[in-house]
Amino acid sequence: MPDNQTVVSIGLIREVFTSEFTPQLFGGVDTHEPALRLVAQLVRYTLDDNLIESVVAPAMPEAYSGDTLAELPRMIADARKKGFDKTAPKRAEFEMTESGLVFFKLTGKSVIPTDVSDPLEILGLVRDAKSARWARLLRWRDADGNEHEFIASDKQLLSDHDVVCGDMAEQGLRISKGQQGNLARYISASKTDVRITLVNRIGWHGIGERDIFVLPSQVIGNPPSRVIYEANDKRHEDYSVRGTLSDWRHAVSIPAGQHPLPTLAISASLTGPLLHLAGLESGGIHLFGNSSTGKTTLLKLAASVWGNANLVRSWRATGNGLEVIANQTSDVSLILDELGQLDSKDAATALYMLASGVGKIRMTQSATLQDIKTWRAFILSSGEMTVEAKITQLRGAKAYAGATLRLLNVGADRGLGFGVFDNAGPTGDVRDLVNAFAAAAALAYGVAGPEFVRALISRALESAAIQNAIDHFVQSNVEHDASGQVVRAAKRFGLIATAGELATEFGITGWLPGTAAAAAAAAFKKWVEVRGGDGKEPAEDRAAIRQVTELIVRYGESRFDELDERGFNVEPAWNGDSEGSSPPPPRPAVIRLGWRKYEGEKRIWMIEDAVWESEFCRGFDPVQVSRALERHEMLKCAKGRFTYAERFQDKRNKRFHIITAKVLTSDYDRTPEDEPDDNDGVPERPGRPSY
């Protein structure tokens, strides 16, 4: 439907209705004089002569047969010639006419109209949700008739109007040379009751006590006033829409529902909006496996929930770059391909940063805090290696459980010979299936996610309902005595299941109820397998035991001096049977970690406190390491202590951390029976053990 281009100023309407000459025309008698005077009043409000004629003419009765109508063009021309149109309107020194903005300059007793710019509209006052960054939203059409909207900052209008006007001119607004100041003054002085809220990230926003959801191309919910998403990037088209929900459901979702991993990817992509509603932290899943198994296809399916395939971003970015991407994908899904491309030294930091939902703190040039970027990201990542492998690529780096629990590893090969799929599809060639999914995701996209949010808002889904669904998933899939970390991971898979099941309930996916939950449960099982162990031992404890074991396996002989029963160094063996020979010199460890000796038939390794903390417990809490080793009987402890007094150089009172031979034989992936699985960092004994 074409826009109605008619714009009538209230001044012109007022003049027509309040003029004493208008009713004089209604009678149709002696119309010349009132028409002349009315025209003289109207020319100051519009440059459009036709409009003046079309207003004056109908004021005459239908049966009017005089000459006044024919005289109107001359009356208008005379009025302008006599300068009636140069009489400034009483109320404003500016007037926005249909041909543009006019500035009426007072010089002595005369008023000189000056052309300022093409027409522009002031749509409203803009400010952010904190009632700061005030600005005005403007709109105009360029010479080609294309519409432009522009946010002019109040601050810049005052301090730097040449720059603002330059930007506006760049967007096609014609501005007369030297009139930048007048244009800025007109815009700054404009008054309007219309309020517009500016947001700088997509996702959920609380505006006027309502939850609304902002995407670059649409605002979902019912905001009390217009909301504009403003971002420095121009990637709005990534969230574009193609096809209908029905197209997407039939081409993408329903076929994907026949394979657990594609089901998981789509469900995960729908999870972002639930983070806010359920009050959960950021995090995600990482699909890992060999190349050419279909991982990137999974990401494209996930991207189709919200927009086009450009939403699949690359891990190859700096920390700052990732921060910007996360900010752009808040509350939807942050899809990152090829973890291997991330610089190893940035890996752990990037993961923590993405999961924390807060960017770096930066200062402005005036040494005040800049706005800190924030987001809630549900990450869907892919790569050939696991998250742990990526973090530990850098020599000496450790994959702390905190980091790896934020991005959960899911094997991206179903092990059935079809990569991420469970079968080869209708043609029997899995390559056809991959191509078909990629093509479908390119033909229908950008509808499911917004529709999901719309349903969430209309049903006013509460946090408790989401939590209940997650708890149900955890109860169904996790043993009651599993470690806290396993439960935490299960909750994340439960959130994915909840998103998928809700989307099914809302009629979005076309899946049978339970499809998404089954896919999430299978992925959780895979995660437990990749993590190793029985799911009861905290990951930090397993990592700490692995570190101690590695040191003993590598250096248990070479960097430990052997002691005899009394604690003296054992001399090298020499039988003295060779004429003129002498005993070989002692060969102490060059960079000693401790001492070793036999206790009966079994080896023990004795380590001093400083070396224990700096080498064996590096990167871990020594109390936690000791407790984990003790639980597996790998550490010999005195009552109430994590150390033990051993005979050393014939003295009996020197305390060591004593590693037992069990460190080489025990299966620490399994939690010993009847031992508490406590990962709260609080010693089980009263007080902190002394060394």
Partner 1 sequence: MSDAPQILAEWARVYRELGYWPRPITIGSRACHVSGWQKPDAEIPAAELASWLTKYGPLGIGLLLGSPFPDSTTLGALDGDHNDYMRVARELLRDPPCGRIGKRGAVFFVRVRGRLSNPEFRVAGKGDKVAECLFTKKLCVIPPTIHPDTERPYQWMGRPLHEIDFRELPIVEMGDA
Binding site residues, partner 1, CB under 8 A: 1-4, 6-14, 16-20, 22-23, 26, 51, 54-55, 57-59, 91-92, 95-96, 121-124, 137, 139, 189-194, 196, 208, 210, 222-226
Q: Which residues pair with 226 in a beta bridge?
A: 196
Decide the pairing of beta strands 218-220 and 210-215.
antiparallel
Cβ atoms within 10 Å, residue 567: 17
Q: b vs e for 312-331, b when ≥16 Cβ sit within 10 Å of the residue's Cβ?
A: bbebebeeeebbbbbbbbbb
Residue nearer to partner 1 on the CB measure, 84 or 555: 84
Residue nearer to partner 1 on the CB measure, 115 or 534: 115
**Min dist. Cβ of residue 460 to partner 1 (A):** 9
Cα dihedral 495, 213, 256, 288 in deg (nearest 10): -60
User: Which residue carries 């009483």 as its tokens?
Assistant: 90
Please give the Cα distance from 402 to 349 (Å, whole number): 11
DSSP state of 566: T
**Min dist. Cβ of residue 223 to partner 1 (A):** 8
Please give the Cα distance from 436 to 419 (Å, whole number): 15
One-letter-per-residue 3-state SS of 79-109: HHHCCHHHCCCCCCCEEEECCEEEEEEEECC
Residue nearer to partner 1 on the CB measure, 194 or 372: 194
Residue nearer to partner 1 on the CB measure, 123 or 298: 123
**Min dist. Cβ of residue 43 to partner 1 (A):** 15
**Min dist. Cβ of residue 259 to partner 1 (A):** 39
Residue nearer to partner 1 on the CB measure, 121 or 534: 121
**Min dist. Cβ of residue 480 to partner 1 (A):** 42
User: Which residue carries 């905290």 as its tokens?
Assistant: 538
Residue nearer to partner 1 on the CB measure, 36 or 196: 196
The phi, psi pair for 204, rounded to 5°, reads -75, 140
Sheet holding 195-199, edge to edge: 147-153, 135-141, 121-128, 195-199, 226-229
The answer for residues whose C-beta is within 8 angstroms of residue 240's C-beta and 6 or more apart is 217, 307, 308, 445, 446
Which tokens hold the place of 547? 């570190």
**Min dist. Cβ of residue 25 to partner 1 (A):** 9
**Min dist. Cβ of residue 55 to partner 1 (A):** 5
Residue nearer to partner 1 on the CB measure, 25 or 391: 25
**Min dist. Cβ of residue 192 to partner 1 (A):** 5
Residue nearer to partner 1 on the CB measure, 23 or 584: 23
Please give the Cα distance from 16 to 348 (Å, whole number): 72
Please give the Cα distance from 40 to 32 (Å, whole number): 12
DSSP state of 412: S
DSSP state of 369: B
**Min dist. Cβ of residue 458 to partner 1 (A):** 11
**Min dist. Cβ of residue 94 to partner 1 (A):** 8
Residue nearer to partner 1 on the CB measure, 93 or 615: 93
Residue nearer to partner 1 on the CB measure, 46 or 498: 46
